[in-house]
Amino acid sequence: MCADRTEWFTKARFGMFIHWGVYALIGRGEWVRSDEEISTEAYEPWVRAFQPKHFDAHVWAKAAREAGMQYVVFTAKHHDGYCLFDSALTEYTSMHYAGRDYVREVLDAFRAEGLRVGLYYSLLDWHHPDYPHYGDRHHPCRNDSGESNENRDFERYLAYMHGQVQELCTNYGRIDILWTDFSYDDLRAEAWHGEELVSMIRRLQPGILLNNRLEVSGEGFGTLLDEKPAVTAGDFVSPEQIIPPDGIRNWCGEAVPWEACVTMNNGWGYTEKDHWFKPADMLVRKLVECVSKGGNLLLNVGPDGEGRFPPESEAILQEIGAWMRHSGESVVGCGYSGLPKPEYGRITAKEDCLYYHVMEAQIGGIPLRGISRETIEEITLLKDGRKMEIEDTWITGNYPDLVFASFGEDPRLPDAIDTVIKVKRKKNKQ
Ligand code: GLC
């Protein structure tokens, strides 16, 4: 692991995942070809029909920036094999079918909003003839004995896959993250010729960050936690649909960068019938949870087949943004505080500041554990910068070792989602 390389990432904390491709038009998720065992031929009409009229990468990028997100990871190719970029190695691309290079448009737009940019690239490929079909655990033709693997040449697939990664690392300027997905069964590191792949990627994009999925999937952590991580270990762990209960540490207890990828509803790719969206207040708290445990949140949006964000996602992003505008300082650039989690919420930390996130109203003052009076320079309510007093009464006097801060007479929290108390500590007195 290289700390310099991951520095921006461990400060960014909040990113947008975008799953978008032909499958969005069908509206039953990005696994639809596998789930419903749809052959390449039967998928073809959708491939042709994927001509998103409302796609405007600037709208997406603006929504991400306004939500307080610092980076994006966009699906250049998902498991269906359809490429949302221009490739000299296949015609199975948006350039060929729709005359557009969506990867370029997305990267340009997000960079213009000041965000870092990452690409998701599927190691699986259900379109390439040399990728195992029959008997593969996931392939849409896994049950079709007519699709035997006899004449399939996996080496040829690897040359194609490496070639495409090379294209992505060469033709699109600086890429901050390459998010490969995913390893399973025998198809792991070595099978992907992972060492060669990684050395090529790092040669072409020296600053790039890689996830751990050349070795694992969301299942498993990979050698990044080992004493001697392999070349294929990547730079961060990618827990999926879970926030690790205790953060993630390596063999000797050191914190390892991680990024929880989480959906807003229950699917990655657009799922027409899934309206089980997580409310914005919950997502703000989950973001804070990630940061308090030393991790990032990569929150997914699955735009529809015409290129629009689901209205629920738009609204959620705006609500998160409203909170981030006044309290984002307690997230971006912050991390684990080293202090135990308080009953009422969480703590994040940055340089000489501690941020106490109060998510549950308290009776009276808020106990700020882990600091002593002498070390405090100032306590403010982050939301509006108002100075907060230390509560000193006969009531708090029973707890002489604790510092209490008071919100005043109103028993309700100044911010119902998460009220952040910022404690600036005196330099050299921490
Ligand atoms: C899984 C799924 C995939 C999704 C990814 C996001 O690996 O295969 O559809 O892109 O998770 O983490």
| Phi, psi (rounded to 5 degrees) for 48 | -70, -35
- Cα 30 to ligand 1 centroid, rounded to whole Å: 8
Query: Which residue, judged by its Cα, is nearest atom 10 of ligand 1?
Result: 268
Query: Which residue, judged by its Cα, is nearest atom 4 of ligand 1?
Result: 268
Q: How far is CA 168 from the centre of its chain?
A: 20
217 lines ligand 1 (CB under 6 A): yes
The two three-digit tokens of residue 400, written as one number? 């002489």
Residue to mutate, 240, 264, 266, 270, ligand 1, most ligand atoms under 8 Å from C-beta: 240
Q: Which atom of ligand 1 is nearest to the CA of 261?
A: 12
* Angstrom distance (rounded) from CA 218 to CA 1: 19
pLDDT of the residue at 187: 97
Question: Is the N-terminal amide bond of 85 cis, ω within 30° of 0?
Answer: no
The two three-digit tokens of residue 193, written as one number? 């010729």
In the chain, residues under CATH classification 2.60.40 are 345-425
The two three-digit tokens of residue 419, written as one number? 């009220």
Q: Which atom of ligand 1 is nearest to the CA of 238?
A: 12
261 lines ligand 1 (CB under 6 A): yes
171 lines ligand 1 (CB under 6 A): no
Q: Which atom of ligand 1 is nearest to the CA of 30?
A: 9
pLDDT tens across the length of the chain (430 residues)? 566 999 999 999 999 999 999 999 999 999 999 999 999 999 999 999 999 999 999 999 999 999 999 999 999 999 999 999 999 999 999 999 999 999 999 999 999 999 999 999 999 999 999 999 999 999 999 999 999 999 999 999 999 999 999 999 999 999 999 999 999 999 999 999 999 999 999 999 999 999 999 999 999 999 999 999 999 999 999 999 999 999 999 999 999 999 999 999 999 999 999 999 999 999 999 999 999 999 999 999 999 999 999 999 999 999 999 999 999 999 999 999 999 999 999 999 999 999 999 999 999 999 999 999 999 999 999 999 999 999 999 999 999 999 999 998 999 999 999 999 999 999 865 5
- Cα 379 to ligand 1 centroid, rounded to whole Å: 42
- Cα 275 to ligand 1 centroid, rounded to whole Å: 19
Q: Which atom of ligand 1 is nearest to the CA of 269?
A: 9
pTM recorded for the entire structure:
0.97
**CB neighbours (10 Å) of residue 3?**
9
CATH class of 3-330: alpha beta
DSSP string of 179-231, one letter each residue: EEE--BTTBSTTTTTHHHHHHHHHHH-TT-EEBSTTT--SSS--GGGSSS--G
268 lines ligand 1 (CB under 6 A): yes
135-144 in b/e form (b: 16+ CB < 10 A) is ebebbbbbee
How far, CA to CA in Å, does 424 sit from each of 11, 223, 370, 420?
Answer: 19, 38, 13, 13
181 lines ligand 1 (CB under 6 A): yes
Q: Which amino acid type is present at position 111?
A: R
> Strand, coil or helix: what is 40?
helix
DSSP-derived pairing of the beta strands 71-77 and 14-18: parallel
Q: Which atom of ligand 1 is nearest to the CA of 218?
A: 7
30 lines ligand 1 (CB under 6 A): yes
Query: Which residue, judged by its Cα, is nearest atom 5 of ligand 1?
Result: 181
Four-point Cα dihedral 83, 19, 250, 430, nearest 10: 130
> Strand, coil or helix: what is 8?
helix
* Angstrom distance (rounded) from CA 340 to CA 258: 20
Residue to mutate, 80, 181, 266, ligand 1, most ligand atoms under 8 Å from C-beta: 181
* CATH T-level fold of 345-425: Immunoglobulin-like (2.60.40)
pLDDT of the residue at 427: 84
In the chain, residues under CATH classification 3.20.20.80 are 3-330
Residue to mutate, 17, 259, 268, 300, ligand 1, most ligand atoms under 8 Å from C-beta: 268
Q: Tokens 């910022």 label which residue?
A: 422
The two three-digit tokens of residue 423, written as one number? 């404690």
240 lines ligand 1 (CB under 6 A): yes
